[in-house]
Amino acid sequence: MSTVAAYDPDKEIPRHIAIIMDGNGRWAKSRDLPRRDGHRAGAESVEECLKACGDIGVEYLTLYAFSSENWKRPEAEVSALMGLLALFLREKLPLLMENGIRLKVIGEIDRLPDSNRKALLKTMEKTSGNDRLVLSVALSYGSREEIVRATKKLMVEAKEGKVSPEALNPDMFANYLDTAGTPDPDLLIRTSGEFRISNFLLWQISYSEIHITDVFWPDFRRPNLEAAIADYQRRHRRYGGL
């Protein structure tokens, strides 16, 4: 599915791409390496995708980096992932600045270690003026949790008389989600061949086109991204119409 014709720069480019970056562990296992090495190699794929998205003209990239459910993994793996996040934030600020990338985070940032949270806030602040590509990283993110958080906020505001139940509609509800202000993904990519959503952006992907590739995330490179875009360009988005 991921090896066919190149994308056409003159055709519609997905404005927002969301990626479930999966398969780091299996990539490492297939090389007899520790899982951690798979995550480290995955960081290179992130860097390549960031540059490619900017070049291609994608405006929003959302990356699923750590799910609410990933807290269930062994402590050593969670720490390795948090360590890699810290390293990425320390080393990649120039990359973000040079490529006009603005960093945002979705998910329960309060559950992250203090040092990670501070580094994220600092990077968000430093990149807040960048306007070429918005990178949203999903960290401690679960879509059901996000929807419940949004609903709680709305209920509090309703109790205080700030919003009325009659006024509530889908567009308004979307403003209470972590992704407020970001258009819905046009294209959702999942690597490593799994056909599931794993609690990612359930609300936002209502009408996203889905591209699944067998490639493990650490092997995902610019040609794979371009193949996904080419696949997207062959779709006919009907939104329920004709």
Q: Which residues bind ligand IPE (CB under 6 A)?
A: 20-26, 64-67, 70, 81, 192, 194, 196, 198
Q: Give me the catalytic one of 24, 37, 70, 199.
A: 70
Which of the 8 DSSP states describes residue 110?
A: G
Residue 28 structure tokens: 């490492």
Rounded CA-CA distance 216/191 in Å is 6
Minimum Å gap between C-beta 235 and ligand IPE is 23
Nearest Cα to 65, choosing from 177, 236, 198?
198
Minimum Å gap between C-beta 23 and ligand IPE is 4
Minimum Å gap between C-beta 22 and Mg ion is 4
Closest to Mg ion by CB, 15 vs 73, is 73
Closest to ligand IPE by CB, 62 vs 233, is 62
Active site residue 22: yes
Active site residue 184: no
Considering only residues 18 to 57 of the shown chain, the ones binding Mg ion according to CB under 5 A are 22
Rounded CA-CA distance 101/94 in Å is 10
Rounded CA-CA distance 187/232 in Å is 7
Closest to ligand IPE by CB, 79 vs 175, is 79
Is-contact 31 218, C-beta < 8 A? no
**Catalytic residue positions, numbered:** 22, 70
